[in-house]
């Protein structure tokens, strides 16, 4: 579980760097993006390895129907995360769709995983996403809402959401965790 915690700290530090130490981050220029990217990949690797190798210590036993709620929430999470990159009509409807998508992803996984490692990993990512919204809103209080784009981009977003969900489900199944039962 130590790897999960180190991964969460690295992830949080890399992403909060711009908000908590803007002058320091700005001093790195474009190389700062590379630092954040490398730190993010390292953090993900640590969290995945830590989670996969963590001892299963049960805290609660989620009811089986939560699995269906999780799957619906995950469709929403993929849609929200994708919405942050789209240029369709929906993009300007909310300020932080990617961070909201991470929150939905984290809560969905907390619903179906009642062990200590899951609480640390998904709870930690939830706390990070909430903190990110707070930091962004404080540092940039006025949001310039993007102009709506073509509705066809939103249709493409729906297709990409479904394909991404299917790929993620396939990866989970390949790893021995069937999200459908």
Per the structure, the count of domains in the chain is: 2
Residue 158 confidence (pLDDT) above 90: yes
Residues 78 and 167 in one domain: yes
Buried b (16+ CB within 10 A) or exposed e, 103-138: bbbbbbbbbbbebbbbbbbbebbbebbeebeeebee
Residues 45 and 83 in one domain: no
Residues 155 and 71 in one domain: yes
176: left (phi over 0), alpha (psi -120 to 50) or beta: left
Range(s) of the domain holding residue 3:
1-54
Instruction: Write down the pLDDT at residue 69.
Output: 97
**Residue 140 CA neighbour count, 13 Å, CB half:** 11
pTM of the predicted model over 0.85: yes
Residues 123 and 160 in one domain: yes
Largest CA distance in the chain: 50
Instruction: Write down the pLDDT at residue 74.
Output: 97
Give residue-wise pLDDT tens across range 67-93: 999 999 999 999 999 999 888 888 888
DSSP of 37-71: HHHHHHHHHHHHHHHHHS---BS----TTHHHHHH
Residues 3 and 70 in one domain: no
Boundary (domain end) residue, out of 17, 37, 54: 54
Residues 83 and 162 in one domain: yes
Residues 91 and 145 in one domain: yes
Instruction: Write down the pLDDT at residue 92.
Output: 84
The whole-angstrom distance between residue 116's C-alpha and the CA centroid of its chain comes to 19
**Residue 34 CA neighbour count, 13 Å, CB half:** 4
Boundary (domain end) residue, out of 14, 34, 54: 54
Residues 130 and 142 in one domain: yes
Residues 78 and 118 in one domain: yes
Residues 62 and 48 in one domain: no
Residues 152 and 95 in one domain: yes
Please give the Cα distance from 74 to 147 (Å, whole number).
27
Residues 67 and 31 in one domain: no
């Amino acid at each position: 579980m130590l790897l999960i915690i180190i991964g969460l700290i690295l992830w949080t530090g890399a992403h909060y760097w711009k908000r908590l130490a803007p002058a320091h981050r700005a001093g790195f220029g474009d190389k700062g993006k590379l630092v954040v990217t490398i730190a993010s990949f390292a953090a993900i690797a640590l969290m995945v390895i830590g989670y996969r190798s963590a001892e299963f210590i049960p805290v609660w036993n989620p009811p089986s129907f939560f699995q269906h709620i999780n799957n619906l929430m995950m469709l929403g999470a993929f849609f929200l995360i994708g919405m942050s990159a789209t240029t369709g009509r929906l993009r300007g409807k909310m300020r932080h769709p990617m961070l909201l998508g991470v929150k939905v992803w984290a809560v969905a996984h907390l619903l179906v995983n009642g062990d200590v490692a899951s609480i640390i990993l998904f709870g930690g990512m939830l706390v990070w996403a909430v903190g990110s919204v707070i930091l962004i809103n404080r540092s940039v209080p006025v949001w310039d809402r993007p102009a709506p784009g073509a509705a066809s981009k939103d249709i493409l977003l729906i297709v990409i959401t479904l394909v991404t969900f299917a790929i993620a489900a396939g990866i989970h199944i390949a790893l021995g965790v069937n999200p459908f039962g």
